[in-house]
A and B are shown apart, each in its own frame.
Chain A
């Protein structure tokens, strides 16, 4: 059942990605179709996660691939909060291809089927994996907002004559939303890491590469909040956010084999 739901979810996310591309060229119907693709795709993926949860008597997203599946759901869910509004459709150009790609990767790793039994406790997984994924979803969104900020700023700096033809969120709004998203995500990551370290210490486990990379990620995003408090905003803050997102990608995709048992 979970496998059957994967394909429509992927198809709808893919349709949304293509739709947003079409909307960027000719705003209108393609953007509306893309928005519905995101909404329906997210509902289908919710059903997929529901089926996974119902089939497992524990936390079903304990493996890296399954957690990637949950991560995609969180990213798209966070995007849905305001991303479907017309000026933010451009953000879908960044978020939806990423979501579709990561969903494919999650499936390739076996994260969209029936979950295997994990040797971790449910509470630990919910807190550790859940909080870290929520934080990473927030960082992904903040990085997307920052990318959109840089794109919009470049258009203003270039004095593009077409700047008013394609609606985009204002610089001030993008800057503020990115900052607020990180402000919520950093505490979530802090708690998630704290839970993981507490378990690491209590079991006398070793520190692996993923733990180190996650700590570096935490430092960068906490640094983001620090430099913003020191008065950085706009372009410079956006570059810091993108640097932080590179680390999120590394942690999510490059190092999972060192961590998941």
Chain B
């Protein structure tokens, strides 16, 4: 069986092209069924068709037909290269933001929606394992990759679990909306979304119960100054995120005990640093992925040799039984325990004779010489021939 991959991704095609071949779950399943044993992985950054087939050329031709519109941007990989690519994808190493976490779930969903044969099923399961291993053993996915997620991560550095944390939004910018969504997804509650019409007293009253303030207005001056915050917060610990330019929050707030004020530059510096950290972790992740891909390759190679080993052992066993049957006249005089001893000795002789060749064949399979050795064994022992 051969493994074939045809696809395109953000590396090769802009979004205007990728959106033409973006498939939902049902469409992905239909495509997989159309191709036979196949899995269609379609995300916002890639559309890839993985096909398992005896005839790799034909499988590739059919897959290219499905993605015909993007023909010039398509990449085509086979066997080990295709498996390695999938492993890298599952680990987030081929993502726009290295190590992003969503892709692992998307690979799992694609596998569930597909129609994989044994080889494809194995390669996807192994890829998911590799992806989980990379996440567990490296810090590639731990740091935020956007200003909004950095704001939420900072809130966790101050408050830990954000469940029940009260957020006050001042103004309504795009990034502050994303920050609010990030905070909400971690359990925080948006207690007040203030705008220019919101009463000043209401805002200050809410600050008395707030844990996080996210500000993003177009006001020319400070919306909140240090004395106001100090008076309103009543000793509470407070994280303030100022996403506005010009700034909304008086920098002197940061000097207050228990107040932590971050502006857009601070957040961008954090994101730049964490992305650099992800790239460093990516090197370790690549090593893990390569090792896992190699294991998969060894397993796949062993498939070539297993039938030859099984045939060789079956032949040896057949000969042993035939010779014992021929000696039945002599063995008939033996009692039961003596017969069992003869059976055991002959079986041991066969096993010992075949042990080293079996080990060597498996080693050869792992070293990519498996097919040659398998053919040699079949030829030398006449395996698979009708007459010996």
Q: Check A173/B160 contact, CB under 8 A, given A162-B273, A164-B150, A234-B237.
A: yes
Contacts of A127 in B (CB 8 A): none
Q: Check A170/B156 contact, CB under 8 A, given A161-B272, A161-B273, A163-B270.
A: yes
Q: Check A170/B143 contact, CB under 8 A, given A165-B273, A165-B274.
A: no
Q: Which residue of A lies closest to B269 (CB)?
A: A161
Residue B377 at the chain A interface, CB threshold 8 Å: no
Q: Check A164/B160 contact, CB under 8 A, given A159-B266, A234-B237, A235-B257.
A: no
Q: Which of B137, B257, B277 contacts A165 (CB 8 A)?
A: B277
B154 contacts A231, CB within 8 Å?
A: no
> B259 → chain A, closest Cβ, in Å?
9
Residue A2 at the chain B interface, CB threshold 8 Å: no
Q: Check A163/B272 contact, CB under 8 A, given A231-B235, A234-B258.
A: no
Contacts of B284 in A (CB 8 A): 28
A171 contacts B277, CB within 8 Å?
A: no
Q: Check A27/B258 contact, CB under 8 A, given A152-B157, A162-B273, A165-B273.
A: no
CA distance A171 to B137 in the complex (A): 26
CA distance A128 to B266 in the complex (A): 52
Contacts of B235 in A (CB 8 A): 231
Q: Which of A152, A170, A231, A235 contacts B159 (CB 8 A)?
A: A170
Contacts of A159 in B (CB 8 A): 262, 266, 269
CA distance A233 to B254 in the complex (A): 17
| Dominant SS among interface residues on chain B | helix
Contacts of A195 in B (CB 8 A): none
Contacts of A156 in B (CB 8 A): 154, 157-158, 260
Residue B139 at the chain A interface, CB threshold 8 Å: yes
Residue B153 at the chain A interface, CB threshold 8 Å: yes
Contacts of B272 in A (CB 8 A): 161
A170 contacts B254, CB within 8 Å?
A: no
CA distance A27 to B143 in the complex (A): 13
Q: Which residue of B lies closest to A170 (CB)?
A: B160
Q: Check A28/B144 contact, CB under 8 A, given A161-B273, A163-B157.
A: no
A164 contacts B159, CB within 8 Å?
A: no
Q: Which residue of B lies closest to A29 (CB)?
A: B137
**B125-160 contact mask (Cβ, 8 Å, vs A): 1 or 0:** 000000000000111001110000010011011111
A28 contacts B257, CB within 8 Å?
A: no
Q: How many residue pairs between the two chains, A and B, have CB atoms under 8 Å in the bound complex? A: 66
Contacts of A171 in B (CB 8 A): 157-159, 237
CA distance A164 to B274 in the complex (A): 7
Contacts of A29 in B (CB 8 A): 137
**B153-190 contact mask (Cβ, 8 Å, vs A): 1 or 0:** 11011111000000000000000000000000000000
Residue A169 at the chain B interface, CB threshold 8 Å: yes
Residue A81 at the chain B interface, CB threshold 8 Å: no
CA distance A152 to B266 in the complex (A): 17
CA distance A156 to B255 in the complex (A): 11
Contacts of B139 in A (CB 8 A): 27-28, 165
Residue A223 at the chain B interface, CB threshold 8 Å: no
> A126 → chain B, closest Cβ, in Å?
37
Q: Which residue of B lies closest to A162 (CB)?
A: B273
Contacts of B270 in A (CB 8 A): 161, 163-164
CA distance A223 to B166 in the complex (A): 31
> B238 → chain A, closest Cβ, in Å?
11
Q: List 24 A-B contacts (CB under 8 A).
A: A28-B138, A28-B139, A28-B284, A156-B157, A159-B262, A159-B266, A159-B269, A163-B154, A163-B157, A164-B143, A164-B154, A164-B157, A165-B139, A165-B143, A165-B274, A168-B157, A170-B158, A170-B160, A171-B159, A171-B237, A172-B237, A231-B235, A234-B237, A235-B258
Residues of A within 8 A of B (CB): 27-29, 152, 156-157, 159, 161-165, 167-173, 231, 233-236
Residues of B within 8 A of A (CB): 137-139, 142-144, 150, 153-154, 156-160, 235, 237, 254, 257-258, 260, 262, 266, 269-270, 272-274, 277, 284
Apart from A171-B159, A172-B158, A235-B257, list 16 A-B contacts with CB within 8 A.
A152-B157, A156-B158, A159-B269, A161-B269, A161-B270, A161-B272, A162-B273, A164-B157, A165-B273, A165-B274, A167-B142, A168-B157, A169-B160, A170-B160, A231-B235, A236-B257
